[in-house]
Each structure stands twice: as structure tokens, then as C-alpha cells.
Amino acid sequence: MDLLIEQEIALHQFDIRQNMAEVTRLIHPDFREVGRSGTSFDFTAMLDMMASEQAPNGYVHSQDFETMKLEERVFLLLYKSAWIDDAGNARHFAKRSSIWSFDGEKWQLKYHQGTPCAEFQLQKIT
């Protein structure tokens, strides 16, 4: 499901993360996350964290997306990510999983988890 991948990548973008209308459109009110660090977040904590973010010195690289249909209106999105700093150095490698649900009008992120992993070969974005 390309739309879910596009929405997941959108949530990596600072300008989207600073737009509360977009964030609340993309993230379900019952959202939960277990971050790469092991820290847990709910919807309110995620909104607070995003609102206080400063413009980053780098970006999230993501690749190897896979989708799995769990139910008619629920999909699991799996992928790998790494943080790329302004000098082009990759770090904070992780395997990611997100559960997206469709409410009849829009897809929203309901659960996300990041798990540290070994470095992997970065694929060039085309």
C-alpha cells in the first residue's frame, strides 16, 4: 500500500511534524509507540514532543518497506531506518513496525515500534 508508505515517510519530515493539523490527521487518537530507545509514548506525549522539536541537522532514511494485511482495514507496515546527519554519516539503525487503521475516511497510525538493529547497506533513493 503505497499510501501508507507515503504517510509514514511524511511523519519523518520536520515540516509535517510541526503541522498539528497534519499530525492529527495522520496519527490516531489512541496512538501508542515504543521508541527505538525503549521509551513509550501515547498520542498526547507524541504531540508534545513534536511541538517542541527543533529543525534537525539531518534526516530519516527509510527502506525495505513491506505491508501485511492484518484485517480488512488494518495493515502492518515494516521497514528499516537510519538517521543520516548533515555530513552524510548514518547511525541509529532500526527495524520499524507500524500499524495503520482505516476509519472509513482516512488511514491513521495507531501503533509504532522501533528496535535497534545492526548497520545495513543503505539503498539509494530514486
Reported as a single tens digit per residue, the pLDDT across 5-29 is 999 999 999 999 999 999 999 999 9
Predicted confidence (pLDDT) per residue in 30-49, tens digit: 999 998 888 999 999 999 99
**Mean pLDDT rounded to a whole number for the chain:** 95
pTM of the model: 0.93
CB 96 within 8 A of CB 113: yes
Q: How crowded is residue 36: how many other Cβ atoms within 10 Å of its Cβ?
A: 18
| Start-to-end Cα distance in the chain | 18
pLDDT given at position 112:
97
Q: Is 126 a residue whose pLDDT tops 70?
A: no
Element (H, E) at 7: helix 2-10
